[in-house]
Amino acid sequence: MRDINTFLPFWEGFSVVTIKPDGDALQIDLIPHATRFPSCSGCQKPCSTTHEYCERTIRDLPILGRAVRLSVLLRRVGCRDCGKRMEAVSWLDRYARMTRRLAEAVIQACERLPTLHVAQLFGLHWDTVRLLERRALQAALSFMPKAQPRRLVMDEFALFKGHRYASVVLDADSRFDIPFRLLDCFRTVDSTDFCQFKTGRNRLFAIHPLGPYARIGAL
């Protein structure tokens, strides 16, 4: 009989021991390769000393419509430079409870589907999906150039059946969202520091800092 790991080469550095059903899900038990020295998650150097073993349950992408739970045996190594650290795993982030490919699939789905639908699709909690999406947006934002808008487009939409409202401000030229802090104020603001406008509900808002040359437009 052929080795099952030949057909499931998805978890680098680990071997599949058993695959068994767990209700509507699949549980896959993984152990590290005996011939492979673990690497420190801090300095990425190979370590020959294993301090202890610990078992962790990890979520992975579904297989044939079934959720996948990995029972992974991880090693805590004794690194000469970093001390006691968990071993580095190429497909798993530090402290993570899901694989990198599952997190990436969730982020890609969030680009096309609402958060609630993505949570139902992957069987995750709504807050977990929002956290992954927020981290991805923050990472993408860090690579974007600093916004220097000249013309703004602003609109409001209702939340929770009209009991709360949210505002959207776009750069009219690049069509990108503008990260800003919306200040609710009712006093006069110096136009050289703030760009003022009034909404349909007669409330004065200000966005800082846009400078005196930005112009407000309406959708």
Residues 87, 111, single domain; the answer is: no
Residues 92, 103, single domain; the answer is: no
Per-residue confidence (pLDDT) for residue 176, from 0 to 100: 66
The rounded distance, in Å, linking the Cα atoms of 88 and 83 is 14
Complete edge-to-edge strand list for the sheet that includes strand 164-171: 164-171, 151-159, 215-218
Residues 20, 57, single domain; the answer is: yes
Q: How many domains does the chain have?
A: 3
Mean pLDDT lowest among 22-31, 54-63, 102-111, 209-218? 209-218
Residues 67, 127, single domain; the answer is: no
Instruction: Note the pLDDT tens digit of each residue in 53-77.
Output: 999 999 999 988 889 999 999 999 9
What is the reported pTM? 0.68
Residues 127, 157, single domain; the answer is: no
- Has residue 4 been placed in a domain? no
* Residue 23: burial class (beta carbons within 10 Å; 0-12, 13-18, 19+): exposed
Residues 64, 118, single domain; the answer is: no
Residues 86, 46, single domain; the answer is: yes
Instruction: Note the pLDDT tens digit of each residue in 2-52.
Output: 566 555 678 988 989 999 998 889 999 999 988 888 999 889 899 888 889
Residues 209, 159, single domain; the answer is: yes
Per-residue confidence (pLDDT) for residue 87, from 0 to 100: 92
Mean pLDDT for the stretch of residues 139-166:
74
61 is in which domain, residue-wise? 10-97
The rounded distance, in Å, linking the Cα atoms of 6 and 153 is 55
Residues 89, 106, single domain; the answer is: no
Q: What are phi and psi of 60, to 5 degrees?
A: -135, 175
Residues 111, 174, single domain; the answer is: no
Residues 83, 129, single domain; the answer is: no
Boundary residue ending a domain (113, 143, 173): 143
- Has residue 2 been placed in a domain? no
Bridge pairing between strands 66-79 and 50-63:
antiparallel
- Has residue 184 been placed in a domain? yes
